[in-house]
Every structure is written in C-alpha cells, then in structure tokens.
Structure 1
Amino acid sequence: MPVLLVIPARYASTRYPGKALARLVGATGEARSLTRRSWDAAQQVAGVEKVVIATDDARIRDAAQGFGADVVMTSPDCANGTERCAEALDALGARYEIVVNLQGDAPLTPPWFIEDLIAALKAHPTAEVATPVLRCSGRALDGFREDRRAGRVGATTAVMGIESQALYFSKEVIPYTTENFAPDAVTPVFHHVGVYAYRPSALAAYPRWVPGPLEKFEGLEQLRFLERQQPMLCVEVDARGRSFWELNNPEDVPRIEAMLAEMGIE
C-alpha cells in the first residue's frame, strides 16, 4: 500500500508571516528552518515511499531544494494544507493509496505517531481520514489554559465518541473541566496532533466542498470533514516521554528550541 507524505508549507501565515522559514536552533547550535526541521522529521518515518514539500512560494521552494527536498508547486488559492495535499497528489499521480499530511509547523512530531496513524487507517477500512491525538498530562493542560488566558491561540484539542470517532476539534480547551491536575496526572483532555492520513477519495473530494461555518469559526481544516459527516478516526498515540509542541506563534520558538536541546536534536 504505497504511502505519500506531504509537508504543506506556506509563507503567508496569518499569525506568523514567514513562519516556514523561521530559524530554529538545535542542540548543537545549528539553526535550521522550520521547513527543514519538518523534512528531517519526515525522513525518520518508516513505511513511506515518497516525501515532498508542497508550497506556492518560490522562497520556500528554493530553500527546500537547497537542502535536497523534493518540491511540488501548488496554487496560491489553496485554503489550507489539506487542499495543498490534494493538489500535490494530483500532480504526482494516483498510485498512492494513503496520503499523509505532516503539517509544516510540527517538526517535533515523533516518527511513531505517523507510523501508528498509517497502521490504524490500514486496519480500519471504513475510515476515510485518521489523525493522532495525545492525552494531556496536567502540565500540558496547564500550558493550554495559560495560552488561552494570555489570548494566545495555542494547541488544538479533540473530543471523541465510541470507537474513537472524532466528534469535534477546537482551539478552546475541551472538554470543559475546572479540576486542577498534578503535573504528571492523566487528564480527560486530548491534544490534537497536526497530522492527517487520508484515503485518496476523501482527499479528492475535500477541495470541492464549500467550507462550513464551524471550519470558518475555528479556523480548523479538519472540521470540513466532520461537517460533511465523513468518518474521521482519532488514533491515540504515546509520547514515550518525548516533548511535543507546534510552532503557532513567535513565542513558541524558544519553547521548541528548548525541546530540541533537551532531545539532543542537532
């Protein structure tokens, strides 16, 4: 079952313009762009036949080709990474049976998150889309709450029903709870990891659907699937003690750099 991994990257990020080329210093003091670090993370994933960066920006294309990445140029009209993945699949041909979207702002994504995601989609033939979720510790939940109190858009949370079917995703902290948890305690809140695995049929249909109100309100592309009642499987993954964070705001840079240093990533 051939797997294509696409890293969507755009320059005109609303919250952080130029984010794709932001420099992140690793454990050895070497600065690499966010796109390069996402590419490096993708190279660690087993079972992927091809990795490409999908962008509409010549600056990102040139930088990516400079470190040896394969690049697919996509339309500037793509509204989000899922639409960009759909264009990349069109450009590369229909031989792939699973397409993975590794968001270009998640360079700390462990390879086993994606490997578990691919395995789950293969094992659930009725699922059109799958995405990983990570149960929050009390420490992580405190960080989410602090971001919201400070008016920052931080991590996305996910709520699931029976058989791990996605019910909703939000940039608010859901489900609502006032309970205070110890730093290492297990909480009922799940952090949505910004990775998706699609079947080609679901990916081809997505750009033809008009975005619904929930997608517009939350600014979350995956809600388009839920608003069209397309089954989405949430796959709980295990961090195995590894830190995970996404680069959403400029304030996240030192946090991610500290994690790179802690994990010894050069």
Structure 2
Amino acid sequence: MSVLIAIPARYASSRYPGKPLAKLKGADGTEKSLIERSWDAALSVNGVDRVVVATDDTRIRDAAQAFGAEVVMTSPDCANGTERCAQAHTKLGGNFDIVVNLQGDAPLTPSWFIEDLVSDLNSDLIADVATPVLRCDGEALNGFLNDRAHGRVGGTTAVFDRNRYALYFSKEVVPFTSDQYAEGEDTPVFHHVGVYAYRPKALEEYVGWASGPLENLEGLEQLRFLENGRRILCTEVHAKGRKFWELNNPEDVPRLEVMMKEMGMR
C-alpha cells in the first residue's frame, strides 16, 4: 500500500488571508509558519511514501521550498483542498493507493490520527473516504459553543451511524444537547478533525461532480461525497493527552500557541 500526504494551501482565504504563512510561536519561542508546522506534522507519520505541499500561490511555494518541502503547483481554479489533492495526485502520476489530505490549518494533528485513519480505510471494503473524529469533552464543547455564540466559525462536528459511516458534518454544534458537562467529561459531540484519506477513484469522481446545496451552505467540501451517495468512514481517534485545535481565525493563533507551550512543542 503506497500512501501520499498532500498538504493543500491557498493564500486567498475570506476568513484569514495569508493563513498558511501565519507565524506560530513554539514552546521555546521559535516561530514557524503554519505551513511549515503542518509539514513537520506530516513528516512524523509512519508508513508514508511521499509528502507534498499543493498550492497555487508562489509566496507559499517559495516559503515551503525554503524549509525543504516538495511543492506541486496546482490550478487557482481548485475550489477546495480535495480538488487540489486530486490535481496534485494526478500530476504525480496517480499511482498511490491512498491519498491523505492533511489540511494546512491543523499543525497539532498527532501522527497516530493519520496512521489510524489510513489503516481503517485500508481494512474497510465499503468506504470511499475516511476521516478522523474526536469525542469532545466538556471543555472542547464549551469552546465550540462559545465560538458560535460570538459569531465565529470554529471547528466542525460530525454525526455518524452505528457502523461509523458519516450521516452529516456541520459548522453548527450537532447533535444538540441541553446537558451541561464538566471540563473533562465525555460528551455526545464529536469534533471532526480536518484530515481525509481517499481512495484514488473517489478523488477522480469528486472533481467531476458539481458542488451541491449542502456543501455550498456549510462550506464543507466533504459534503459533496455524501450528496453523491459515497460513504465516509468516521475513524474515532484519541488525543492521548495531546491538545488539538485547527487554526480557523486569527483569534486561534494565541490559543494554539498556549497549547503548544503546554505540550512542549518547539
């Protein structure tokens, strides 16, 4: 089984322009760009044959090449990271068995999230795509609810059936619960971790489909698979004491820096 990790990165973001080049300070005060920290996260994953940054922007290309990354230039017409990964895979010859999309805004993604994801998809005979989900504790759920209460789009939540196939993903907090949870208490809400493992055929099909109403409303690229009847396997992963959060808004920078300091990440 051959595995490619592609890190899609674009400069033009409506919520956070230039986000891949935003600097994050580690526990020892070292500053690295978001794209470099995502590259470091990808290199820590076992069982991967190749890692590339997929971008359409020369500023990101130059920054990535400066720290030693391999870069694949993709079209500015790619609507999202999945389309960018599909194009990068094709440009590299299209010969990998599994393509992993490690989105460039999740530098705290532990290596075992991706390793578990690839293993899960490889052993499943039905799923076209796999993606990690992390059960929220009370602290994480309250962070989600606080973001929404203040009009910020924070993390994405996922709901899935008893066989772990996705039913829906949303930027709202789903499922609804009126219960109150203590800081370290498990909740029924799952945080969708923004990583995907695709079978190549699913990637090829994806770029041929028009975006649907749910994808357009939520702004979530994975909904295109569900709207076209494809199965997404939700792999439950465990933080093992690691903090996890994506960089969605400028306000997330200090939050991630605190987490990195607590975990001793340089």
- Which TM class, normalised by the smaller chain length? over 0.9
Question: Paired residue for 1:144?
Answer: 144
1:86-235 correspondence runs (5 A): 86-235=86-235
- In structure 1, the partner of 2:11 is 11
Q: Deviation per CA, 1:115-143, whole angstroms, max 9, x where unpaired?
A: 00000001102111000000000110000
- Separation of aligned partners in 1, 2:13 and 2:73: 17
Matched, 1:59 2:55: no
Measured in 2, the distance between the counterparts of 1:80 and 1:258 equals 29
Q: Please list every run of 5 or more consecutive structure 1 residues that lacks an aligned counterpart in the other structure.
A: none
Question: CA separation in 1, counterparts of 2:170 and 2:231?
Answer: 17
Task: Give 1:198 shift.
Answer: 0.2
Counterpart of 1:240 in structure 2 is 240
Can you list the C-alpha shifts for 1:37-87, whole angstroms capped at 9, x where unaligned? 000000100000000000000000000000000000000000000000000
Q: What TM-score, normalized by structure 2, do the two folds share?
A: 0.99
Residue 241 of structure 1 and its aligned partner are, at CA, apart by: 1.0
**What SS class does the counterpart of residue 134 from structure 1 fall into?**
strand
TM-score (norm 1): 0.99
Aligned-partner Cα distance in 1 for 2:18–2:209 = 28
Q: CA deviation at 1:162?
A: 2.0
CA–CA distance in structure 2, aligned partners of residues 176 and 154 of structure 1: 16
Could you list the runs of 4 or more consecutive aligned residues of structure 1 that deviate by over 2 angstroms after TM superposition? none
RMSD of Structure 2 on Structure 1 (CA)? 0.5
Q: Secondary structure at the match of 1:208?
A: coil
Which SS does the other structure have where 2:121 is aligned? helix
Residues 60-75 of structure 1 mapped to structure 2, 5 A cutoff: 60-75=60-75
Partner of 1:260: 260
Output the amino acid matched with 2:131. T
CA distance in 2, matches of 1:211, 1:79: 9
One-letter amino acid of the structure 1 residue matched with residue 217 of structure 2: F
1:46 aligned residue: 46
Unmatched runs of 5 consecutive residues or more in structure 2: none
Separation of aligned partners in 2, 1:232 and 1:244:
22
Distance 1:179 1:59 in 2: 47
* Residue aligning to 2:2: 2
SS in 1 for 2:52: strand
Q: Distance in 1 between matches of 2:163 and 2:193?
A: 18
- The percent identity for this pair of structures is 67
What is the CA-CA distance between 1:178 and the residue it aligns to? 1.0
Partner residue in 2 for 1:23: 23
- 3-state SS, counterpart of residue 207 of structure 2: helix
Q: CA deviation at 1:265?
A: 1.1
Hey, what does 1:79 align to over in structure 2?
79
- Partner SS state of residue 127, structure 2: coil
Q: Distance in 2 between matches of 1:125 and 1:111?
A: 24
